[in-house]
Amino acid sequence: MILKAEGIVLRTFDFRETSRIATFFTKEHGKVSGILKGIRKDSKKFGSSLDLFSVNDIVYYQYRNSDLHLISQCDLKQYFLSVRQDLAKTLAATYVLELINKIMPVEEKNIKIYQLLLDFLGSLEGAKDVHPLVHGFQIKTLLHSGFKPHLDTCIKCGRVITGRAKFSMHDGGLVCLQCPLSETVVHWISQGTVSSILHIEKNDWSNCLKLHMAEATRRELKYILNNFLVFHLGRKLLSAKYLHA
């Protein structure tokens, strides 16, 4: 079957002497991988050089028994030049690509995640500080991929939590001061951080970027999100290093 899609390049690697394998996150079919035969021998064969986080129109033959398809056409649609000219922005974009590649299952359409990627890259172009964008992206990715943390009540007893609470990485949510944790390490979370996460979950992309956070809240948010993602993905992302900057 021949399929068309619009996709963002998540990763690429060289294959044999002249080909390259690319993974896209597509609007129509979710995460799709395919081989572009001869792309390294003839640079004019495809209308794209497959740069990371570029948006491309692709045409591919879908193989039924394989996750790797044959890409026959690939044309560049959007390049995000100003992101590429800035190291911090390039690293932030690389991190979100790795996150999406790890968290999203193969060929499962998710239009909200696709739009989130486009919104993130678009905002990144004019951004002064990349961190609020990365935090917003992490929270919305958890929300739209089925890993939304439970933040309304205690995950153990259902009690409404008003002040400081424990955040259980294992159970994915808040645990009140009276209930025991399922894990040995205690991660504390303040009401301000909980409110910030809920605000970002409830608001659209442009509104959630307007949220002003105290430095302590921002630090706690970063700590909780990074640990929660590492717990769920089973390992650290290679590109997460920049988040310490």
The residue ranges that bind Zn ion (CB under 5 A) are 154, 156-157, 159, 176, 179
227: left (phi over 0), alpha (psi -120 to 50) or beta: alpha
Least Å distance, CB 158 to Zn ion, is 7
Q: Specify whether the CB–CB gap between 145 and 104 falls below 8 A.
A: yes
Least Å distance, CB 234 to Zn ion, is 27
Least Å distance, CB 156 to Zn ion, is 4
Nearer Cβ to Zn ion, position 165 or 213?
Answer: 165
Least Å distance, CB 191 to Zn ion, is 16
Nearer Cβ to Zn ion, position 99 or 194?
Answer: 194
Q: Of 162, 127, 4, give the one whose Cα is nearest residue 77.
A: 4
CA–CA separation, 136 vs 144, rounded Å?
12
- Ordered alpha helix ranges (H), the chain: 81-84, 87-103, 111-126, 131-144, 191-202, 205-208, 215-233
CA–CA separation, 221 vs 140, rounded Å?
14
Nearer Cβ to Zn ion, position 179 or 233?
Answer: 179
Least Å distance, CB 135 to Zn ion, is 27
| 71 strand-pairing partners | 60
Nearer Cβ to Zn ion, position 91 or 179?
Answer: 179
Nearer Cβ to Zn ion, position 154 or 229?
Answer: 154
